Homo-oligomer: A and B are copies of this chain.
Amino acid sequence: MQNFTYQNPVKILFGKGQIASIASEIPAGAKILVTYGGGSIKKNGVYDQVKAALEGRQWIEFGGIEPNPHYETCMKAAELARKEAVDFLLAVGGGSVLDGTKFIAVAACFKKGDPWNVVTGAAHAEAALPLGCVLTLPATGSEMNTNAVITRESTKEKLPFSSPLIYPQFSVLDPETTFSLPPRQISNGIVDAFVHTMEQYMTYPVNSPLQDRMAEAIFSTLIEEGPKTLADPTDYEARANLVWSATLALNGLIAVGVPQDWATHMIGHELTALHGLDHAQSLAVVAPSLLKVKSDVKREKLLQFAERVWEIREGTPEERIEQGIEKMRAFFESVGAPTHLAAYGLGAEVASEVANRLQKRGWLGLGERQDVTPVQVKHILLLAA
């Protein structure tokens, strides 16, 4: 196990009716900016629950944060927050609303030029407005971590950034608020949580059996509960198990003391930025092919994955590795996430396009060993054609 530092102060309020408790979590007297997306919260009753919980509090709102939240939109919200001297941000929605709100929190306090520099890594966030969240879509894990992914529409760039300043003070996870989501969003959530876990697990062994088993616990739970919650969206228990799995898949716990990959995400972000695939769809396309291309350096963990997660115990090591990856692919397909570019109307030319883009950006080696080169990225995407 590698040395590590771990601290995650986010307060989780999980379960039915928990939205009512947000008032006591937001400092008295704070002026609140409620942020949300396309307005689904006004149809499913969540907006009304939030409104009721905030009764007697001073609050304003900003709607219209897009999936893959746009820098351009968030800058408008940051301007509003500044103008109105907002003290607290309350994100109500899925990972995109929350990620956008994390950026708004930073941008509203940023005084050294363009906050986009924080996203590119050219500058660091030095302050952020405190924020809380009512999560209505289980997927990104953003509700209990320091990450956000922001898209700059004008340049079609989608980039992640991270800062301890953007930990939510609290996150409300009420599985009932997710009942009205369309199947595609749930499918995306299952795949997203699965691949998040994969990015922290599928590297090389460093003698971390507890982290490994906890990651496998998430895989197995998603495999078991994912189809249940798709089949019956109002099955509270199955949905609750998906929600909690998605949170633990990316709250930092399974990452302690182990190497991490994230190449699938970086390649996937390009597919989303260029061609509009949903985030999880991009992961479903990249992950199986990436594991095949990197099966030499990920060999031990691929064998462990095949055995422990998929109970594959027969055949040569190569056969077991192949079967494990194909089981994962079949699982993604079965929950409604196609794993080939063609299913999204994309041809093999995408492979060069993405590889060239990474090359230009100077990202010459992704992954836990920084050995996923642009040439390999092209190979991975050709394999996913």
Contacts and interface: CB of A to CB of B under 8 A. Distances in A.
Interface of A: 1-18, 207-210, 213-214, 216-218, 220-221, 224-225, 237, 240-241, 244-245, 248, 253, 256-257
Contacts of A15: 1-4, 257
B257 A14 contact: yes
B7 A11 contact: yes
Contacts of A13: 5
Contacts of A225: 209
A105 to B, nearest CB: 19
A237 to B, nearest CB: 4
A207 B3 contact: no
Nearest to A4: B14
B12 A9 contact: no
Given A207-B237, A209-B221, A241-B210, A5 B14 contact: yes
Contacts of A220: 209, 213
B1 A6 contact: no
A11 to B, nearest CB: 4
**Would you list the 6 A-B pairs with minimal beta carbon distance, nearest first?**
A3-B15, A213-B217, A7-B11, A9-B9, A207-B237, A6-B12
A208 B241 contact: yes
Contacts of A11: 5-7
